Amino acid sequence: MVHASVRAVGPVAGGPDQIHLALKDAVGDSGSIFMYASCPAYYDEVGRGDHAPAFEAELRETLPAFDAATARSARDNGALVELLRTWPGTVANDHVVRFICRGPHADALFAPQAWTYAYGADTPLARFAALGGRILLLGSDHDQVTFLHHAEHLVDVPGKRIVRYMVPRLVDGQRVWTPCEEFDTSEPAHSAWPEDVFRRITDAYLADTENVGGRIGQARCHVIDAPPFLAFALDVLASLVRKHG
């Protein structure tokens, strides 16, 4: 699972597509490259209460049905994910909480899933961890490790914030608004978790495991095994809630 900053890597002979192509060469034919694409603006925003009623009414009227196969990646997720998404052979799960995969694990990762709590159990992130996946931080912000939303969803503590929204989907040729529910991923889902909790967890885990990383181009990089990282994150998140009282 790749979290990457093309800018941090620096100039690449042949252009930035060579980054994901080199990563695919590195994992080989038996390995897969997995990234978080999400969705364009507004598709996961209707019904949250973040927009003025008049603007939300306009979105309900005009927003096209979400198409996971063609919709652009969220701009905030960086350039590399869109380059990989549009590369031949890359596939996506049919959800606004959208991941992409190029490689032989796509079918296993993207088996049918529930529409709600799409970062939680029996989702692409859960299957990625069960496969013993590895996370590559390629010059990326340590506060933007999407995999940790899986820990947010799994940790069994009271008081996590829930958000609900509506997504336009194409069902039997008709645009249908589908309700979705998840723990709040727009900010830490519990008041006990600081704003930069993902960075703190990631940096603490790297220090605890003496993972000093290396460089690809100009970018500082780390590779992390997902299952022990998940266990570490669950313990930290639960401990923060206990201390918060």
Q: Hey, what amino acid is at 28?
A: G
Q: Is 37 helix (H, G, I), strand (E, B) or coil?
A: coil
Question: Is the separation of the CB atoms in 164 and 180 below 8 Å?
Answer: yes
Collapsing DSSP to helix, strand or coil, 152 comes out as helix
Q: Which two tokens stand for residue 125?
A: 């992130």
Beta bridge partners of 117: none
The distance between the two most distant Cα atoms of the chain, rounded to a whole number of Å, is 54
Q: Is the pTM of this model over 0.75?
A: yes
Domain ranges in the chain are: 2-44+68-158+195-244
Candidates 126, 155, 152; CA nearest to 1 is 126
The answer to whether residue 245 scores a pLDDT higher than 90 is no
* pLDDT score recorded for residue 244: 85
- CA distances (Å), origin 193, targets 75, 77, 198, 233, 244: 26, 23, 9, 12, 9
Mean of the pLDDT values across residues 145-149? Answer: 97
Over residues 21-76, the pLDDT tens digits come to 999 999 999 999 999 999 999 999 999 999 999 999 999 999 999 999 999 999 99
Strands annotated E in 5-133: 33-36, 91-92, 99-102
